[in-house]
Structure 1
């Protein structure tokens, strides 16, 4: 399943459906309808990783802004904006997703990756949690798009006091594990899931995406190698 298939599948589970941002196939009518509901939207390839080919749309009065990477273009109509994406849409199936106003650290947006892996008993356990800080001016946080992996505690320090940070991180771990358990019902052979969680300005978490082939190398960028060693250890479990 691509992103849209995973979204529809997970939407059927009450334990996580309130944490899923509105996601639809990227037709002009869907984009128009969603711009009436939300301040911003993200366009993403239905199949794809690493933050490549992602766009952000915002509408202010009668002007539409399309951002990609650090570039920004303005359009006088949605028709003109949609036409500018014709090549991308003809090459790949795209989805449109409600934009989340991400929490910031030093004026840079960040989100969270929760690593969930199967143990020897084939039970899913959380083996790592890491923050991803966007490169200045970028709309994505992905490591391979210039994002900086950092301990999540250091990114939350300006938003929550210490005891509340610990509880909040635990809450993210529980959500990541529950989301993986749900998607795992349809991916029984997968041994690892990477759950990307955004936090909005009201501290509500949103499950942006779940990767079934998560990149482990981002955990190796941290000075403390404890999580990375644990993730590697679990990745070697067979069966």
Structure 2
């Protein structure tokens, strides 16, 4: 059995048949092909003392033993979620991606240790007067981002226009412009409740005058190996500074965008796929049980890819909007295949342990039948040297 952990509000919507970016039917179909059963549940559905869960199969509520392998689709930024996942781990459960809210600055520092990735990482730092000034002196544009937020909310783009410095602040797709100085900009960020980072702006390719980046899916497969699942383009809404779908962006097939720019689509895709797999394997060395990543990658006019962001809870909707139906389904199926692989590994270890225990019991019984007296039993003769 494979568990899929949802926030309670999302699980309620799915059970009532409301539309969602999550597609339980895709998980269920993939599990059947692997000979597995799927159960969807929230942390509030766990009966800790019984080691069971009252979950949803896609059609009915049922009580089942807590699965050994759990695909985490709930955000881990709340304390009660962190504590519950730690408790599940202490019970021996495997949870991926067990931490899916990770500081963007930490990600940058981990990846910076890999020299092969350095050319693909925009300069990134804490927000201070000196760091903002240095990046602005070296670049025509920079971004200030919340370290752990999603969907592009709160991102600030800063550009030099003649002698002025203009800040464009994204609030759910709406862009607010204001003239600022560096001290004022730093104070704006400090006044917010979130920690920010500052990042070099990349001269991204454009489609119909709107910036474009790419969502790239890399996942562990049914052999426990990282695979490139697919990529799609994300096009910002006219006048917006972010490409997120939640902020009014659109999604197009990557191949169509490459052809629109006159590029060798297969060659560019292969280059990005290699970089994405290197990013995943590098993060895998530092972050426990990651297996399902959505990377945001920008490309400049020289066809050079840049990593913008790593998402540990890819909503997969960009593939659907772009009409990449097979890749869209694959983004759901591949984590299930990996979970099935882990289940097979767990069952194989359990069989080996049982065989070892049976062999030990049999050996002990044979020794007893031969009349041998264990050397550590009172009255036993000492073993000969």
Considering the TM-score relative to the shorter chain, is it more than 0.5? Answer: yes
Return the offset for 1:218.
Answer: 2.1
Task: Specify which structure has the bigger relative contact order, considering alpha-carbon pairs within 8 angstroms and separated by 6 or more residues.
Answer: 1
1:161-200 residue pairs with structure 2 within 5 A? Answer: 161=263, 164-200=264-300
Name the CA distance, whole Å, in 2 between partners of 1:160 and 1:171.
16
Match of 2:146 among 21, 45, 49: 45
Give the structure 2 partner of residue 30 of structure 1: 131
**What is the aligned residue count?**
234
Matched, 1:82 2:186: yes
Give the structure 2 partner of residue 223 of structure 1: 323
Aligned residue for 1:10, secondary structure, equals helix
Give the structure 2 partner of residue 204 of structure 1: 304
Give the structure 2 partner of residue 8 of structure 1: 109
Return the offset for 1:61.
Answer: 4.1
Return the offset for 1:73.
Answer: 0.9
In structure 2, do the counterparts of structure 1 residues 86 and 130 end up closer, same or farther at CA, with 3 Å as the change threshold? same
TM-score (norm 2): 0.58
C-alpha deviations, 1:158-203, integer Å up to 9, x for none?
3224xx1211111111111111111111223122011111111222
In structure 2, do the counterparts of structure 1 residues 61 and 219 end up closer, same or farther at CA, with 3 Å as the change threshold? same
Return the offset for 1:231.
Answer: 1.4
Give the structure 1 partner of residue 36 of structure 2: none
Give the structure 2 partner of residue 55 of structure 1: 156
Does the 8 Å CA contact 1:59/1:65 hold for their aligned counterparts?
Answer: yes
Name the CA distance, whole Å, in 1 between partners of 2:103 and 2:187.
24
Aligned residue for 1:236, secondary structure, equals helix
C-alpha deviations, 1:111-170, integer Å up to 9, x for none?
011101111221000112111000101111111111111101112223224xx1211111
Aligned residue for 2:314, secondary structure, equals coil
Name the CA distance, whole Å, in 2 between partners of 1:49 and 1:84.
19
Worse-superposed segment, 53-62 or 30-39:
53-62
Worse-superposed segment, 65-74 or 34-43:
65-74
C-alpha deviations, 1:68-104, integer Å up to 9, x for none?
23221113x322333344422xx11100000001100
Match of 1:142 among 241, 244, 248: 244
Higher Cα Rg, which structure = 2
Unpaired segments ≥5 residues, structure 2: 1-101, 343-385
Name the CA distance, whole Å, in 1 between partners of 2:116 and 2:152.
27
Name the CA distance, whole Å, in 2 between partners of 1:214 and 1:149.
14
Worse-superposed segment, 25-34 or 130-139:
25-34
Unpaired segments ≥5 residues, structure 1: none
Does the 8 Å CA contact 1:26/1:95 hold for their aligned counterparts?
Answer: yes
Matched, 1:101 2:203: yes
Name the CA distance, whole Å, in 2 between partners of 1:15 and 1:23.
17
